[in-house]
Amino acid sequence: MKPDSRRSAPATQRNRDPILDVLRTLLPETGLALEVASGTGEHVIHFARAFPYLRWQPSDPTPDARASIAAWTETNGLMNVLPPLDLDAAADAWPVASADALLCINMIHISPWEATEGLMRGAGRLLNAGQPVYLYGPYRRADRPLAPSNAAFDADLKRRDSRWGLRELDDVVTCAEAEGLALEAVIEMPANNLSVIFRKR
């Protein structure tokens, strides 16, 4: 019997349905949805069940993550989830030419700033006018204090890697706008997270 490559992230079980509620108002019924930094693959599996007519393209630069994504896909027998791509958000070239929507959950704070810059470049390159970018995670905001739990999380991230940490939302918006992505909405989510939605101009 081959080993089980599926990995699990406890936060996924808590946030996947609130995220799905937002995605139901955002995603097209058909086309290709690209998820950047899919991690364990649990999100893409959950969303693919809810959007059976969308083709889902997971991706991750980490071999263990891609193995987990493939294992979750196989276990669930989902035909609308494509094999995971080796995609580094910071890279100049991505192994996908176009998409109808782009999702990125809990990556921006657990990666160097160059990954955010690359994410926005890629979204600006792949999407057509009116197509959405969906981001989820914790952010700093200039108009309000950082929640104590997020401050502790930020300190822990920076201890693990000095290039990581919660980003200023204004900086992320500026980065996106430079690539032709217009901010559409910022939605409060559980546990001091945000859904941040852009559309290609």
Q: How far, in Å, CA of 201 to CA of 191, rounded?
A: 31
Residue 110 in any domain: the answer is yes
In a domain, 3, yes or no: no
Give the CATH number for residue 17. Answer: 3.40.50.150
For the chain, how many structural domains are there in total?
A: 1
pLDDT the model gives residue 1: 63
Decide if 96 is inside a domain. Answer: yes
pLDDT tens figures, 87-129: 999 999 999 999 999 999 999 999 999 999 999 999 999 999 9
Q: What are the tokens at 24?
A: 């139901």
Residue 133 lies in a domain: yes
Give the ranges where the chain is alpha helix by DSSP (H). Answer: 10-23, 42-50, 63-76, 113-126, 148-160, 169-177
User: Per residue in 25-70, pLDDT tens?
Assistant: 999 999 999 999 999 999 999 999 999 999 999 999 999 999 999 9
In a domain? residue 4: no
CA distance 31 to 90: 24
The domain of 84 spans: 10-200
Question: Is residue 171 in a domain?
Answer: yes
CA atoms within 13 A on the CB side of 151: 5
Q: What is the pTM of this model?
A: 0.97
Task: Please report whether residue 35 resides in a domain.
Answer: yes
Is residue 5 situated within a structural domain? Answer: no
Is residue 199 predicted with pLDDT exceeding 90?
A: yes
